[in-house]
Structure 1
Amino acid sequence: MTSGLPSSDAEVDIGPIDYLVIEFPTDARFDGSGLAHLRDVVDRDIIRVLDLAFIRHDGDTVVAIDVADLGIVGDLDAALFAEAATGLIDDEDIAEVGAILEPGHAAAVIVYENHWAAPLASALRRTGAELIAAGRIPVDEVVAALDDLDGG
């Protein structure tokens, strides 16, 4: 899994960068299916994972943990994600995530590039175009709007 960013001297061909924080109970039994889906979108060059960190809140402490400590069952090689570390997630980020985690829970923090958009962004930048807004529509709002369209 390639995770590096171009050097500052390189031509910039980077798509929009997003992050996700996913919370789960530390006693959850993982079958690796979530990581398999992540691996799939990386393999298809849709996203590029820049950083992937796992954090656990044990009540009094918040610590970064290794993906191997999650107890994933199945045949997914979790080591494939170990190289996703550009340094974009730092100790301050880990502390911020830890502050919102429930005790007895852990979180995966994923920083990723929307790699599919990199050529589009580069082409637009060369013409002088500039991104002036970005956002995300919550899934529940999309579902509600679709339900309204269906009369439901």
Structure 2
Amino acid sequence: MDVGPVEYVVIAFPGNHFNGEIVPEVRRLVESGIVRIIDLTFIKKDADGTVSHFELDALDPEEASPFDTVEGEIGGLLSEEDLALIAENLVPDSSAALLVWENTWAAAMVGAIRRAGGLLVQHERIPAPVVAQALEAAEL
């Protein structure tokens, strides 16, 4: 089975309440076959610095409900150490969604490279603000 590259993002939110605003876009990406959700974990850091983390099924039903229609193999991929490292970078009284996905759109390319005897030797992600700035500068 060919598998596309797997990526993760940590999306921080001020306060300790996730409102689900990003869910429609996540759902669109999954439904269109662009990505497959592998893991989704929420991290909360209270005002006193106390950290807790929750898989989707452990969240309050009100907070989890926006994800009811997002399909994927959600849960259990990240270690306690992974979550502790991410939590270190959160400011007190904030929360974060940690989302791990497979870029399913790239799985066929991975297979083609393998069948051709190729070997991917480097893969980098250029941050969107850097690309936007470069494109803006090029238009001048």
**Same-fold call, TM cutoff 0.5:** yes
Distance 1:112 1:131, change over 3 A: same
1:24 aligned onto 2:5: no
Aligned residue among 127, 143, 149 for 2:138: 149
Aligned residue among 85, 102, 107 for 2:96: 107
> Alpha carbon RMSD of aligned pairs, Å?
2.3
Cα deviation, residue 29, structure 1: 6.3
Q: Output the CA distance in 1 between the equivalents of 2:97 and 2:61.
A: 10
Could you say what secondary structure the match of 2:108 adopts? helix
Q: Output the CA distance in 2 between the equivalents of 1:37 and 1:135.
A: 23
Contact 1:52 1:110 in 2 (8 A): yes
Aligned residue among 41, 61, 72 for 1:53: 41
Aligned residue among 12, 31, 36 for 1:43: 31
Q: Output the CA distance in 2 between the equivalents of 1:29 and 1:18.
A: 21
Aligned residue among 113, 116, 124 for 2:105: 116
Cα deviation, residue 139, structure 1: 1.6
| TM norm structure 1 | 0.79
Contact 2:23 2:66 in 1 (8 A): no
Contact 1:18 1:114 in 2 (8 A): yes
Q: Output the CA distance in 1 between the equivalents of 2:38 and 2:28.
A: 15
Q: Output the CA distance in 2 between the equivalents of 1:141 and 1:83.
A: 32
Contact 1:54 1:65 in 2 (8 A): yes
Contact 1:51 1:111 in 2 (8 A): yes
| TM norm structure 2 | 0.85
Q: Output the CA distance in 1 between the equivalents of 2:74 and 2:30.
A: 11
Count how many residue pairs are aligned between Structure 1 and Structure 2.
136
Q: Gapped runs of 5+ residues in structure 2?
A: none
Sequence identity of aligned pairs in percent?
A: 35
Contact 1:29 1:71 in 2 (8 A): no
CA deviations over 1:83-105 (Å, ceiling 9, x no partner): 512x3211111101111110101
CA deviations over 1:104-148 (Å, ceiling 9, x no partner): 011111111000110110121122111111111112211111111
Cα deviation, residue 72, structure 1: 4.5
Distance 1:53 1:27, change over 3 A: closer
Q: Residue 84 of structure 1 corresponds to which residue in structure 2?
A: 74
